[in-house]
């Protein structure tokens, strides 16, 4: 048995863990998932059953993290699934789009580690619209350069490049999907995320993260995202299921 702990730094909503970081950290604890960044990780699907608590050790057995009451917080499993990348956007276009980031004027969770405008110590991934795909679905993009505080430190490096941690990589793929929707009118939290990581992003190198809308039904919204390196190569790809919530009630009910 291992444990999953979400440090307070990696929050999404005020009192719970960022969904992408939590999912990535749990994915890395699956048996059979490579612990060496020289090899690609297989697609892993993580379902969040409850808001992940902060700074609380959660026992992990067979991919399921449970709380003190024995209730499942999140469960991870390797899946046989093809994940299609969102079309690439060049760095200049992503930088221009980021200036129009909707979260700069209204943000349901401004303290979010990934996309929060109130977090100087966060990833500060601010995706703005870059048009629509061939099917008329919204795409957004943002630049992102992993800083040293995001680096992994749990194994020896196999090359000369310091890289961002697996959980950070999942986090970078997270919120960009949500911002393909109008979060001012319909705030969302992550319910499920499936990701394939081909390699880990190099610290200090400029990357681009792109998100694509995939439709909504009831309270659920489907999106996808892709992280590209400076040469336009796919670093990692993901798809998401989001759940519409009342952010004020969501935070109030959880402290």
Over residues 9-30, the pLDDT tens digits come to 999 998 999 999 999 999 998 8
Q: Which domain holds residue 188?
A: 2-252
Over residues 47-103, the pLDDT tens digits come to 999 999 999 999 999 999 999 999 999 999 999 999 999 999 999 999 999 999 999
User: Above pLDDT 70, what percent of the chain?
Assistant: 90
Q: Could you give the count of Cα atoms lying within 13 Å of 83 in the half-sphere of its Cβ?
A: 29
Alpha helix positions (H), 58-201: 91-98, 166-172, 175-178
pLDDT computed for residue 136 by the predictor: 82
Read off the pTM: 0.93
Count of structural domains within the chain: 1
Has residue 112 got a pLDDT over 50?
Answer: yes
- Kindly list the distances between the CA atom of residue 58 and the CA atoms of 30, 32, 243, 254, in Å, as whole numbers in the listed order: 14, 20, 23, 17
Please answer whether residues 103 and 97 qualify as being in contact, where contact means their C-beta atoms are separated by less than 8 angstroms. no
Please answer whether residues 12 and 189 qualify as being in contact, where contact means their C-beta atoms are separated by less than 8 angstroms. yes
pLDDT computed for residue 37 by the predictor: 54
Q: What is the mean pLDDT of residues 4-10?
A: 96
Lowest model confidence (mean pLDDT) among 34-48, 206-220, 234-248: 34-48
Q: Which residue has the higher pLDDT, 92 or 245?
A: 92
Mean per-residue pLDDT over the chain, rounded: 90
Alpha-carbon gap, residue 89 to 210, rounded angstroms: 7
Contacts of 196 (CB under 8 A, 6+ apart): 40, 41, 42, 43, 44, 83, 236, 237, 238
CATH number at residue 36: 2.40.160.210
Question: Which helix (H) or strand (E) element contains residue 247?
Answer: helix 247-252
Over residues 122-164, the pLDDT tens digits come to 999 999 999 888 788 899 999 999 999 998 765 555 567 889 9
Alpha helix positions (H), 63-206: 91-98, 166-172, 175-178
Q: SS3 breakdown of the chain: % helix, strand, coil, rounded to 5? A: 15, 30, 50
Alpha-carbon gap, residue 238 to 225, rounded angstroms: 5
> Looking at residue 34, what DSSP letter applies?
-
Backbone angles phi, psi at 135, to 5 degrees: -95, 10
Please answer whether residues 178 and 240 qualify as being in contact, where contact means their C-beta atoms are separated by less than 8 angstroms. yes
Q: What is the mean pLDDT of residues 225-251?
A: 90
């Amino acid at each position: 048995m291992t444990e999953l702990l979400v440090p307070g730094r990696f929050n999404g909503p005020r009192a719970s863990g960022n969904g992408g970081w939590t999912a990535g950290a749990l994915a890395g604890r699956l048996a059979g998932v490579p612990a060496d960044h020289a090899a690609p990780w297989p697609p892993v699907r993580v379902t969040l059953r409850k808001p992940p608590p902060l700074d609380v050790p959660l026992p992990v057995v067979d991919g399921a993290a449970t709380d003190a009451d024995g209730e499942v917080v999140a469960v991870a499993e390797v899946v046989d699934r093809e994940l299609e990348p969102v079309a690439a956007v060049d760095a200049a276009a992503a930088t221009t789009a980021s200036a129009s980031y909707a979260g700069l004027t209204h943000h349901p969770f401004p303290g979010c580690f990934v996309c929060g405008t109130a977090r100087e110590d966060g990833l500060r991934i601010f995706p703005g619209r870059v048009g629509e795909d061939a099917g008329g679905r919204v795409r957004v993009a943002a630049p992102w350069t992993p800083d040293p505080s995001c680096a992994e430190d749990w194994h020896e490096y196999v090359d000369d490049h310091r890289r961002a941690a697996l959980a950070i990589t999942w986090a970078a793929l997270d919120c960009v999907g949500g911002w393909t929707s109008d979060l001012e009118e319909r705030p969302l939290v992550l319910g499920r995320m499936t990701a394939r990581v081909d390699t880990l992003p190099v610290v200090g190198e400029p990357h681009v993260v792109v998100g694509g809308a995939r439709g909504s039904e009831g309270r659920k919204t489907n999106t996808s995202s892709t992280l590209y390196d400076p040469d336009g190569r796919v670093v990692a790809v993901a798809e998401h299921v989001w759940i519409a919530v009342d952010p004020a009630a969501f935070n109030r009910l959880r402290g």
